[in-house]
Amino acid sequence: MPLGKVLLSAEQIASRVGELGLRIRRDYEDQPLTIVAILQGAIVFLGELLKHLGAGVTVELIEASSYGTATASGGQVTLRRYGRLDVRDRDVLLVDDIADTGRTLAAVARQLEAMGARSVRTCVLLDKPSRREVDVELSYRGFEIDDVFVVGFGLDHAGRYRTLPYIACLDEPARKE
Ligand code: IMP
Ligand code: MG
| pLDDT for the residue 174 | 56
- CB burial class (10 A; 0-12, 13-18, 19+) of residue 12? middle
Return the residue whose CA atom lies nearest to atom 17 of ligand 1. Answer: 149
Return the residue whose CA atom lies nearest to atom 8 of ligand 1. Answer: 73
Annotated catalytic residue 100? yes
Nearest ligand 1 atom to the CA of 131 is 3
Give me the residue spans of the domains in the chain: 11-145
Indicate the SS3 state at residue 52: coil
pTM for the structure as a whole: 0.92
Ligand 1 proximal residues by C-beta, below 6 Å? 41, 66, 73, 96-104, 149-151, 155
Calculate how far, in angstroms, residue 66's C-alpha sits from the geometric centre of ligand 2.
8
Determine contact, residues 124/97, Cβ cutoff 8 Å.
Answer: yes
| pLDDT for the residue 83 | 66
pLDDT tens digits, residue range 65-95?
776 555 655 566 777 776 678 999 999 999 9
Q: Which of 86, 89, 97, 100 is catalytic?
A: 100
Calculate how far, in angstroms, residue 35's C-alpha sits from the geometric centre of ligand 1.
19
| pLDDT for the residue 70 | 56
CA dist., res. 118 & res. 148, Å (int): 35
| pLDDT for the residue 177 | 45
| pLDDT for the residue 165 | 98
Calculate how far, in angstroms, residue 128's C-alpha sits from the geometric centre of ligand 1.
9
Mean pLDDT for back-to-back runs of 10 residues, the chain (177 residues): 92 98 94 94 97 94 74 66 84 97 94 95 98 96 97 96 97 60
Fold of 11-145: Rossmann fold (3.40.50)
Return the residue whose CA atom lies nearest to atom 22 of ligand 1. Answer: 155
- 3-state class percentages of the chain: helix first, strand second, coil last, to nearest 5: 25, 40, 40
